Structure 1
Amino acid sequence: MDINYAAAQHNDLANTYRRNGDIDKAMQHIREALRLKPNYSAAFNNLGCILYSQGSIEAAKNNFQKALRITPMFVDAHLNLANCYASKNQMQSAATHYQAVLQQDPEHQVANFNLGMAYVSEQEHNKVITQFSKVIALESGNIEANYQLGIAYLSLSNSIEAEKYLRIAIELDPTRSEAYHNLAILALKNEQRELALEYFCKTLELNPDNTTAMHMQNALTQQQGIDATPTKYIQDLFDQYADHYDTHVKEKLAYNVPYLLRQAVGSVLQNNNNYKLMKILDLGCGTGLCSIYFCDLAEYIVGTDLASNMLAHAKQRGGYDALCMYDINQAIPAQGSKSQGLIIAADVLVYCGDLNNIFYNCTQTLQTNGLFAFTIETVESEQDDFQLLTTGRFGHSINYIQKLTNKYNFSIELQQDIVPRHNNGTAIVGCLFVLKLI
C-alpha cells in the first residue's frame, strides 16, 4: 500500500474518532499517520485540534506551528493557531493568523468574525467597524457583529450609527439585554433621560442582576434611601473607562481637580508653616493623576481604587510607592492607626452618599493635625444631607460637610467653590475642602 495513502487513511480515521469523542483511538491513528509520514501537516493539525479540545493549548499551538512549517499556506492550521493565541488573550498574534487565512480566503466567515472579536479585545474601534462591516456583508443577520458595530460606534461617539446597529441587534435578538443597556447609555449621553429610563427598565426585565441598570433606574427615578453606589457599578464603569480616562476628563470634562487640591493643600501647609514630607493616601486614585501633583509632598504615597484597569494605568504612570484594590472604607483603616499625614479624595465622594464611615475612618488613620482634602458636588438643600442625582452620582450639601466636620473633630482649614468638571458643556457646581484633624 502507498505510504501517503495509508497515512491519509489513518488521519481520516483519527478525524472520525475525534468527532465521535473517542480520543484514545483518534490518538492511535494520528501517531500511526505520523510514523508513516513524519512531515504530514494535516496530521499535526489534527493532533493540535485534539490537544486544544483537552485544554493543552501550548502543546496544540506547537503542533499547529509544525503543520505551518511544513505547509505555510495551510488555512485550517492558521485558523486553529489563531484560536490558540486568542484563548490566551494574545490578540495581536491571533490577528496575524486570522489575516493569513483571509489572504487566501477573503470570505472565510469564521476568520472574519474572529478577527473582529480580536479587535474588540484590543479596543481598536475603527478596525472593529471595518471588520464587522465585512462580516455583515457576508451575513447580515449576524447578531454579535451588529451588536459590536453598535458598541464601536458608541465608543467613537457616533450616536446615529451606534443606535442603528444596536437596534438591529435587538431586532435580531429581542432578549439581548446588553443592547438595551447600551442604548440607555447612549440616551443618557444625549440627555434623553426618559428614554434612558425606558431602556434601563427593559434591561432589568431581561437581566435583573444588572447593577448598573438598577443604580441608574434608582437615580433617574430619584429613589430615596439610597446611600451608596454599588461596588460592581463602580468597578464596571471605571474598568471600561480606564483606557481613555485621561484624555476624556481633560479634553471633554475640563477636569482639573488634582491640581486644585494640590494648590489648596499647599496653601494650608504654608499658612500653618508646616511644609514637610508626609505619608499620603490617595482614595480612588484612578489612573494616578493626583500622584503627579502630590509627589513632592510624599514621603510614601499609596493609591487605592476598586477598578483593576485603572490601577494598571496608575502602575504604568509610576507615581505611587504602593497600589491596592480596596473599597474606600477598607483602604483607610488598612494603612494603620495614626499613620497618614494626608488623605486625598479627588472627585471620589460623589460615589458615596453617607460619609459617616469615611470621616470616622479618617479620624482613626490620620495623625493629629493630619489633613483630609476632598471635593464634592454640591446640592442646595436644607433637608437632605445628600441626594442621588440623575447622573448616578451623589451631591452633598455644604451644611452636611460642616456637621460631619464638627462631629468628627475636624477644623475647616480651607473651603472653596469650584467647578470640578463639565457635563455636556454645563459647569458642575462643586466645593473643595481641606480639613485638619484636631
Structure 2
Amino acid sequence: MLRRPIKTSSKKNAKARKHAEDAREVDEGAYLLHSKGSGEVLHSEVEFSAEYALDQDSITDGYEVNNSMGWFNCECFLSLLLVGVLVALPFNLHNTKDLLQSRETYLFQAAEMIKVGACDDAVMLYERALVVQENAFIHNQLADALSKCGRTNDALDHYLSGIRLEETHRRKVPSLVSMGDLYQKIGEYALAVKSFDTVILILGDSKDQKQSELGEIYIKLAKAATGMGNYEQALDAYLSASKLVTSDALISEVNYRMGHCAAILGRTDTAVIALKKAAAKAPPSQKALYLYELAYAYFESGDYDRGNDGLSRVFAMQSMYPEDRYAKAAFHDHVFPQLHRAPSQYVSTLFDVHAHRSMFYAKYGAKSFADFQQLHGLLFDKIVPATIKSILQRKLGVSDGDHWLDIADFGSGEGSAIAPFRPLANYIFGVDLSSAAVDIARRVSGLYDELQVGDFVQATESLNENSFDVVLAMNSLQYFGDLRQVFESSYQILRVGGVFCFNIDTLESPDTSFTLKFTGRWAHTPRYIKQVAADLRFEIYQHQVVSDFQHVGQSNAEGGYLVPFDQPQTVYSDVFFLRKLQDDV
C-alpha cells in the first residue's frame, strides 16, 4: 500500500518563510532580532543553533501529521499562561465588576477623583486604564495625576512614554510643554529650557500653527531662562513673544518682564521702551505698578525729570492696593498707620527683582545694580554681616570651623549675607518673602539647612521655643515700623543666653520713634530700640554704629522729588546685639 508523502501545512510554510525574512544574519550562527520595548527598538544578538535553523528542503507539499500529545502540552501551557496573566492584573479578581470596566470608565472615574483632590485614587484608575489599552493620552493623564501627588520622577517617566507613543512631532507638543512646566516647578531650569526650545522648533515648522500659542511658549522659555540666570536668552525670548501675543494683558506682561531683563543687563534705554509699552497696555490692577517701575527705569538711566514726572502720575492715581499706597506714603506722608510695616507684596516684588540683579552682578558686575541699590536704600550690605560676625566671634568665643551655633536668619535673601556665618554654624534656618531669592539661595548658595518662603514673624510660630543660639536680621527690620512683634518672636525661639543681632537705619529725632523714608524703608531711633528691648527683658549685649554713602536723596521742595547728590552723603546704621536672659517674656 502506497503512502502519501508527508506534507507541511501552508500556514507552517508561511510562518517559516516569515521567520527567515525577519532574521538578519550578523555573523556565522548569530542573528539580530528586533522587539519593541517602551516605544524604542531594542536590539539583541542571540545564538541561532543549527538545530533550529530553517531547512528549506524540509518544506514540502505533504500533509502535516498531528501530534495529539503536542496539542495537549500546548493547551496546558496556554492555560497556565492565562492564569499567570490574570493573577498579575493590578486589581482584585474577586470583584468581577473590575474585569468588565472599559478604558473610558476608568478615565471618567479618574477625572472625577482629580476634581475632588483624590489624586492617589486617580493614579490607580489611570494605571488600570493603561492595562486595558496603552496609549499616549492615558500616559499624559497619569503623568498629570502623579505630578499633583508630588511624584515628580514617575510623572516625568510617563510623559516620556507618552511622547514615544505619539506618531507625529506635533502631537508630542502637549507632553513636552507639561514636562517643561514640571521641570520649572522643581527648579530644573536648564531641562525646562530644553523642553520649551524643542516645542518652539516643532511649532515653528508647523503650517497650521497659531501665533498666540507659540507666543505663550516663548513666555515659558523666557521664565525658565530667567530662573537659570540666562537673562540674555530670556530677553530674546520675551522679544519674540512680544511679536506674537495679541491680548493686551499678555502684551503688557511680556513688555514688563522684558523691561526687567533689560535693566538687569544694564540696557536702561531698552528697559524704558519696554516698560512704556507695558504701562500703555496694563490692566487697571497693574497700571500703577508698571508706571512706578517705568519711573525708576528713568531714574536708573539718569533722567530724573521724567522719573519724577512718572512718580507724580502714579501718586495722582487712586489705588485700592496697599503696595501702591505704601509707595506713595513713603514719598509724602512718611507713615503707614494701617500696618506700620511694608505690605508683603511690596517686599516680595522688590526683592524678587533684587535677587536676580544680585545674581547677575555677582557674575558679571553691573553699574545698574549699584544705581538700583541707591534708589531703594539697599545699603550696608557688606559691612553689617562682617561687623556682626566679628562681634559674635569675640563675644561668644567661637571661631571658623567650630560649627556649633544654631542660627535663624530673618530676611535671608539670596544667601550672600549668610556666607560668613556658615563656618560658625551647626544649623542655619532661613526665611524670606521673596520666592526668587529663596530659589536662588537653594540652588546657588547651598548655605542653608532649611529655607522657607514667608513672613518671618509667622514662620517663628512653627519653630520650637528655645531652639536657636543666634537670630539674625541683617538689613531686614527696615521694612517694619513697629518692631515689638519681631522682638517677641525672636525672644521666643532663642535659648537662654542666645543673641538677637540686627541693624536699623538710624533716625535722629526727639519727637518720633520711627518714620518711613522715600526708599520704602523705616528708620528708627536708638532710643526706641533700647526701650522695646527693656520691655521684653533683653539685655543690650553690644551696640555699634556703622556707616555707608548715599548718592540719591529726596528734596525738601514741594513734591519731594528725587535728586542725585553732588557729593555722596554719609548715612548711619546702628547694629544691636540683644541677649536673652530668661525664658519668660
TM superposition score normalised by structure 2? 0.56
2:395 matches 1:286: no
Q: CA deviation at 1:350?
A: 0.5
Where 1:233 maps in the other structure, the secondary structure is: helix
Where 2:418 maps in the other structure, the secondary structure is: helix
Q: Distance in 2 between matches of 1:289 and 1:139?
A: 37
Partner of 2:449: 321
Q: Distance in 1 between matches of 2:488 and 2:162?
A: 60
Partner of 1:117: 219
Structure 2 counterpart of 1:263, from 375, 390, 402? 390
Q: Distance in 2 between matches of 1:86 and 1:276?
A: 39
1:242-286 Cα offsets, whole Å, 9 max, x none, are 344355589634721322221232233359xxx993332222222
Deviates more, 1:86-95 or 1:129-138: 129-138
1:292-326 Cα offsets, whole Å, 9 max, x none, are 21223323332233334333333333323333445
Which stretches in structure 1 are left out of the alignment for 5+ residues?
A: 1-23, 28-45
Q: CA deviation at 1:389?
A: 1.4
Give yes or no for contact 2:278–2:290 (8 Å, CA) kept in 1.
no
Q: Of the two, which has the highest radius of gyration?
A: 2
C-alpha distance 47-408 of structure 1, shift in aligned 2 (>3 A): closer
Residue 277 of structure 2 aligns with an amino acid whose one-letter code is I
Partner of 1:233: 346
Partner of 1:66: 165
Identity %: 20
Give yes or no for contact 1:99–1:115 (8 Å, CA) kept in 2.
no
Q: Distance in 1 between matches of 2:180 and 2:539?
A: 55
C-alpha distance 193-379 of structure 1, shift in aligned 2 (>3 A): farther
Q: Distance in 2 between matches of 1:395 and 1:323?
A: 28
Partner of 2:98: none
Where 1:279 maps in the other structure, the secondary structure is: strand
Give yes or no for contact 2:255–2:277 (8 Å, CA) kept in 1.
no
The structure, 1 or 2, with the larger RCO (C-alpha pairs under 8 Å, 6+ apart) is 1
Q: Distance in 2 between matches of 1:363 and 1:63?
A: 54
Partner of 1:31: none
Partner of 1:77: 171
Q: Distance in 2 between matches of 1:243 and 1:352?
A: 24
Partner of 2:257: 151
Matches within 5 A, 1:12-411: 65-67=164-166, 70-71=167-168, 74=169, 76-77=170-171, 79-88=173-182, 89=184, 90-103=192-205, 109-110=211-212, 112-122=214-224, 123=226, 124-134=230-240, 144-145=250-251, 147-157=253-263, 158-171=267-280, 173=281, 175=283, 177-188=285-296, 190=299, 192-193=307-308, 195-199=310-314, 202=317, 205=319, 208=320, 210-224=321-335, 225=337, 226-248=339-361, 252=370, 253=373, 255-256=381-382, 257-269=384-396, 277-316=404-443, 317-332=445-460, 334-411=462-539
Q: Distance in 2 between matches of 1:60 and 1:342?
A: 46
Q: Distance in 1 between matches of 2:232 and 2:408?
A: 39
Q: CA deviation at 1:353?
A: 0.9
Higher helix share: 1
Where 1:372 maps in the other structure, the secondary structure is: strand
Residue 178 of structure 1 aligns with an amino acid whose one-letter code is Q
Where 1:436 maps in the other structure, the secondary structure is: strand
Residue 196 of structure 1 aligns with an amino acid whose one-letter code is L
Partner of 1:12: none
Q: Distance in 2 between matches of 1:139 and 1:303?
A: 39
Q: Distance in 2 between matches of 1:155 and 1:168?
A: 15
Q: CA deviation at 1:347?
A: 0.6
C-alpha distance 84-285 of structure 1, shift in aligned 2 (>3 A): closer
Q: Distance in 2 between matches of 1:84 and 1:142?
A: 25
C-alpha distance 196-437 of structure 1, shift in aligned 2 (>3 A): same
Give yes or no for contact 2:222–2:238 (8 Å, CA) kept in 1.
no
Q: Distance in 1 between matches of 2:161 and 2:328?
A: 50
TM superposition score normalised by structure 1? 0.72
Deviates more, 1:57-66 or 1:381-390: 57-66
Where 2:502 maps in the other structure, the secondary structure is: strand
C-alpha distance 427-335 of structure 1, shift in aligned 2 (>3 A): farther
Partner of 2:62: none
Residue 185 of structure 1 aligns with an amino acid whose one-letter code is E
Q: CA deviation at 1:139?
A: 7.6
Where 2:499 maps in the other structure, the secondary structure is: strand
Partner of 2:119: none
Give yes or no for contact 1:347–1:420 (8 Å, CA) kept in 2.
no
Q: Distance in 2 between matches of 1:337 and 1:146?
A: 47
Give yes or no for contact 2:275–2:293 (8 Å, CA) kept in 1.
no
Give yes or no for contact 1:166–1:179 (8 Å, CA) kept in 2.
no
Alpha-carbon RMSD across the aligned residues, in angstroms, is: 4.2
